[in-house]
Each structure stands twice: as C-alpha cells, then as structure tokens.
C-alpha cells in the first residue's frame, strides 16, 4: 500500500460533498500555456506522483483501487488549502498519514497544482463555434443574446466606447478601426508604426475622460528601439521563427480628425534605450483612468521575472502618470533614488487587465506561469510578489507568500489567461450591476465575478466556445461588447501567438 493515500482521505473528507457536487457550469480552460520553462519541474512532480500515488490511485486516464484523484467533481469539492491540509497533516484513523516530514510544503503545493493541470488536460474541450451571432445564453442572473457587431478584424486587442455609440478597436498588426453604431468599419490613417512580432504590436486603446472636449485618444503599442537598424532577414527552416529585436511598450495619445486621420500625436511614456529587450513575450498591456483622471498603464516583465522586483526598470509594473505625461506628486516611488517615478505597484508578471469599481478600488488581472493566474486589488506602492512568490508552478519560485508581498484575491489553476477586465455600471443587465467581468484567452471564456467590497463571492462562466476573449467595454447604450479571436495554441495547429480573425460581439439582454 502506498503511503500516499490522498484519494482515500479525500473520499473520507469530502464524503457526500463529492457525491453531491454539481458538475461545473462549463469546462475550465485548457492548460494551453503549458509549463513553459518549467517542463523539468513538471516531470519531477509527475514522477513524485508516480512513485508515491499511482500504485493505489492510478494515473491520469487509468483507474486504481483507490478513488481517482483526477475526478473533476472531487477537485471542485476541495480548495487547494483543503488539499494541502489533508496531505500535510493526514487523517487520523484512515490510510492517510501525515506527509509533513516527507514532503516540503513547496512540493505539496506543486503536487496539488500538477494534479489539477493533469485533470484539466484530460477534460473534453467545448467545440469552437466560429459564428456566435444569435446564440441565446441563460446565465445565473441574466438571459442574453449574442449579436455580431463587426467581422473581419485581424487579431483584435483593445476596445473603447465612443460617446456617439461607436467603438474604437485596435488590431495587433497596427491598425486602429472605428466602428460606427450601425457596424460600418473604417481604418484610421496615420497611426504610429508598430513592431509586430510574437506578442508585440498595437495593443490597448482608451479615450480621454473629457473626450467630448479634448478629443484625446490613448494607445499602448510596441516599437523597435529608436535608431536600431534591422539586419537582413535570415533564411528560416520550416517551423523556425524569425529572430526578435530590441523593443519596448510606449504610450502615446493623439486625435482623430473629421477625415479619419490620426493627428497631434504626443508620446507620454518611453523607456530609456537600455531598457529595450529582444524578448517577444509578456508586454502587458492595458490602459485605464482613475477617479482623478490620471492615466494608468501596465507593462509586463518580458519573460524575466527579476525585472518585476527591480524598481529601476519599468518592466513588470503598473504605472500612473498625468494625462500630459507628467508624474503625479503622490506617486509612491517619486522620490526613491533610482526608481522609475511612474511606478504605482510592482511584482507583476504579464498584467493585461485593469478596472475600477464604484468604490474606487483598482482591480488587476495578470497571467501566471503554469497555473496561478491572478486577480489582484492594487495598493499604491504594493509588491505583488512575482519573481519571489507565485500560486503557479515556476522554476526558481517555491513560496506562495512572503512578508511584505500582497497575495491575489483569486487565482486560477489551470490557467484561464485573463486579459481585459471591466466592472459593469450600466442598467441594461440589472443582475450584473457592480460585477467584475474577465475576458480569458485560454478556454475561450467570459467570466462574471460577483464582488462584495474587496472580496469575490461567486464566479460564473458566461460562455466558452466562441474564441479567445481579449477585451470588453460598455458601449454608449449600456451594452457589454467583447472582442473575440479565433483560437490558437494547443489543439488548433496554430502557434499560441498566431494572428487569427476576430469579431466584435454585443451582449443583448433578454427578459
């Protein structure tokens, strides 16, 4: 008999809870992100399971003489903390001894994450539906119909609602589109050139809080290092990617004139040349405005987690500037020698979601490594831990918490790859007012999170079959509009960062 009687313990601890646990409302997201650079850690954790557990409990896809640990109902009936306590302390009178002396805490947490990831990888995925137009969905608090507003977009990334009922949408290859209330689409000419490669390109768009008077439109985009001369393109073998070159996120603003041209451009944020890096991942980026009208933006750590803890670099940070690019007098690191003065918070990995609730709380969403995607409440000057702690599996990180570091309000293992987020404040959907909506790339999800002050009390997957959900906004009529993109990554035959067609979809409430 294996010492590792976890499933037997869970059967005792969960009991009727397992038998009565309802099936999830929709399958969770596949682990499309994989283990990234942690494949050796994955192998080691899987071997630990095989050595200690498989004799009784089988392996993924097989059945042992003890209950199967990869049962989704069993896993949904217990939190990670519940499982950790069972493994570490055991259960008196059962075949479940305490593993406190055999397994360090970090290995127990890794084993729990590995079990969840393996269980998820074996679940059937919902079939992709390329055209959601007319689909009717009955959620827990609102029935609604999906209406396709615009088609033919190329990898849509950011969306902003205009006062006249129209929308501005960015496409990662570098186009800014204006979509009229009747669905007519036009391309804004003269927008800044972007560096598009892997995750890089034209990203978010936002309009000025006083747009009717100022006309300012804000963009986050990736540029090549100024003055950098591209070498001749190499001859690539089949399956090879072209090399990356030093690039960085910048923030600009401009106006759109009556002829549909981008004019009056101003650069609000640009890093020093020595901060440009050839990494092609984890750019962030999202734009938002606080109650004082100051501009917030996020920049990812570009695949180097040490950047997230280094206040001398803008990477892995949330930033706050005035709308003209100047630095607010109350920024937390304004007077810290060597620190980037625009930093609002740090210790972030790949933050792609920013939203304020009605009470002024700033919510943030970011991608974790293998699992461990986070929903955070942001405090000025706060350290959110990436590079030192993580709820996911990452080589070099073994802790889930550390003094002085702020943990997430919610996290996801397996990954959902959260992107744009939004708190709904309109009146079109009475049951959704004040809820936090999360666009998720992995699993094609739109999630609804019920907030109670600083807590998340309930979550619901509204849909999960129409493509990668990148961003969302509330239009001038109070409708939620979302950007979806045809799936990429595992099982699609497309690289994860491939360019694919996308849509704008409106959620129309039904009685």
Helix (H, G, I), strand (E, B) or coil at 275: helix
Q: What is the pLDDT of residues 410-467, one digit of tens each?
A: 999 999 999 999 999 999 999 999 999 999 999 899 999 999 999 999 999 999 999 9
Pairing of strands 202-207, 217-224: antiparallel
Angular region, 179: left φ>0, alpha ψ -120 to 50, beta rest: beta
Is residue 506 predicted with pLDDT exceeding 70?
yes
Global pTM reads 0.90
Q: What is the pLDDT of residues 456-470, one digit of tens each?
A: 999 999 999 999 999
CATH architecture of the domain with range 6-121? Orthogonal Bundle (1.10)
Q: What pLDDT, on the 0 to 100 scale, is given for residue 39?
A: 80
* pLDDT tier at 42, thresholds 50, 70, 90: confident
Task: Give the contacts of 503 (CB within 8 A, at least 6 positions apart).
Answer: 132, 148, 149, 150, 151, 153, 156, 466, 467, 483, 484
Is residue 499 predicted with pLDDT exceeding 90?
yes
- The yes/no answer on whether domain 147-163+209-233+243-309+322-334+349-510 falls in CATH 3.20.20.140 is no
Which residues partner with 449 through β-bridges? 436, 459
The CA distance from 384 to 430, in Å, is 34
In terms of Cβ atoms closer than 10 Å to its own Cβ (0-12, 13-18, 19+), residue 164 is exposed
- What is the percent of the chain where pLDDT is above 90? 74
Domain range summary for the chain, segments of one domain joined by +: 6-121, 147-163+209-233+243-309+322-334+349-510
Structure tokens that stand for 421 in this block: 């987020």
Average pLDDT over residues 368-391: 97
Catalytic residues: 282
* pLDDT tier at 55, thresholds 50, 70, 90: low
Residue with structure tokens 């499982």?
A: 83
The CA distance from 392 to 374, in Å, is 10
Q: What is the pLDDT of residues 165-190, one digit of tens each?
A: 999 999 999 999 999 999 999 999 99
Helix (H, G, I), strand (E, B) or coil at 160: strand
Is residue 3 predicted with pLDDT exceeding 60?
no
CA atoms lying within 13 Å on the CB side of residue 401:
6
Average pLDDT over residues 273-283: 97
* Closest by Cα among 377, 382, 383 to 360: 377
Q: What is the chain's mean pLDDT, rounded?
A: 90
State how far the alpha carbon of 374 is from the alpha carbons of 220, 368, 385, in Å. 22, 7, 11
φ, ψ at 421 (rounded to 5°): -130, 160
Q: Strands (DSSP E) along 94-140, which ranges?
A: 136-138
Q: Are the C-beta atoms of residues 299 and 287 closer than 8 Å to each other? A: no
């Amino acid at each position: 008999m294996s010492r590792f009687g976890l499933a037997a313990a869970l059967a005792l601890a969960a009991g009727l809870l397992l038998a009565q646990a309802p099936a999830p409302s929709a399958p969770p997201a596949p682990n499309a992100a994989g283990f990234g650079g942690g494949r050796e850690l994955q192998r080691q954790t899987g071997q630990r399971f095989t050595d200690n557990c498989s004799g009784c409990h089988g392996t993924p896809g097989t059945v042992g003489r003890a209950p199967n640990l990869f049962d989704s109902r069993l896993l949904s009936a217990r939190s990670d903390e519940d499982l950790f306590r069972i493994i570490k302390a055991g259960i008196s009178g059962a075949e479940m001894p305490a593993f406190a002396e055999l397994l360090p805490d970090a290995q127990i947490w890794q084993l729990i994450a590995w079990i969840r990831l393996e269980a998820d990888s074996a679940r059937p995925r919902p079939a992709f539906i390329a055209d959601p137009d007319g689909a009717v969905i009955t959620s827990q608090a609102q029935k609604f119909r999906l209406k396709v507003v615009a088609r033919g977009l190329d990898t849509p990334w950011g969306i902003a609602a205009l006062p006249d009922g129209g929308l501005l949408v960015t496409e990662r290859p570098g186009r800014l589109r204006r979509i009229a209330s009747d669905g007519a689409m036009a391309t804004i000419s003269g927008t800044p050139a972007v560096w598009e490669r892997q995750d890089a390109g034209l990203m978010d768009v936002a309009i000025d809080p006083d747009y009717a008077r100022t006309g300012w439109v804000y963009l986050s985009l990736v540029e090549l290092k100024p003055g950098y001369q591209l070498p001749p393109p190499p001859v690539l073998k089949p399956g090879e990617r072209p090399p990356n070159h030093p690039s960085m996120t910048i923030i600009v603003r401009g106006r759109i004139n009556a002829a549909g041209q981008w004019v009056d451009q101003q650069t609000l944020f640009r890093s020093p040349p020595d901060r440009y890096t050839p990494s092609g991942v984890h750019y962030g980026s999202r734009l938002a405005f606080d109650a004082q009208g100051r501009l917030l933006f996020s920049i990812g750590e570009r695949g180097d987690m040490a950047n997230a803890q280094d206040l001398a670099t803008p990477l892995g940070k949330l930033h706050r500037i005035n709308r003209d690019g100047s630095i607010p007098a109350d920024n937390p690191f304004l007077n810290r020698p060597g620190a980037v003065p625009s930093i609002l918070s740090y210790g972030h990995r790949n933050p792609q979601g920013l939203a304020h609730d009605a009470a002024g709380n700033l919510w943030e969403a970011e991608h974790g490594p293998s699992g461990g995607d986070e929903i955070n409440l942001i405090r000025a000057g706060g350290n959110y831990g990436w590079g030192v702690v993580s709820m996911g599996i990452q080589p070099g990180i073994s802790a889930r918490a550390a003094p002085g570091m702020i943990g997430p309000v919610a996290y996801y293992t397996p990954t959902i790859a959260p992107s744009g987020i939004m708190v709904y404040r309109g009146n079109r959907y009475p049951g959704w007012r004040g809820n936090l909506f999360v666009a998720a790339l992995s699993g094609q999800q739109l999630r609804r999170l019920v907030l109670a002050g600083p807590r998340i009390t309930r979550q619901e997957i509204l849909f999960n079959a129409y493509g990668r959900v990148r961003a969302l906004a509330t239009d001038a009529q109070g409708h939620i509009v979302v950007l979806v993109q045809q799936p990429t990554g595992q099982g699609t035959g497309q690289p994860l960062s491939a360019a694919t067609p996308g849509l704008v979809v409106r959620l129309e409430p039904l009685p």
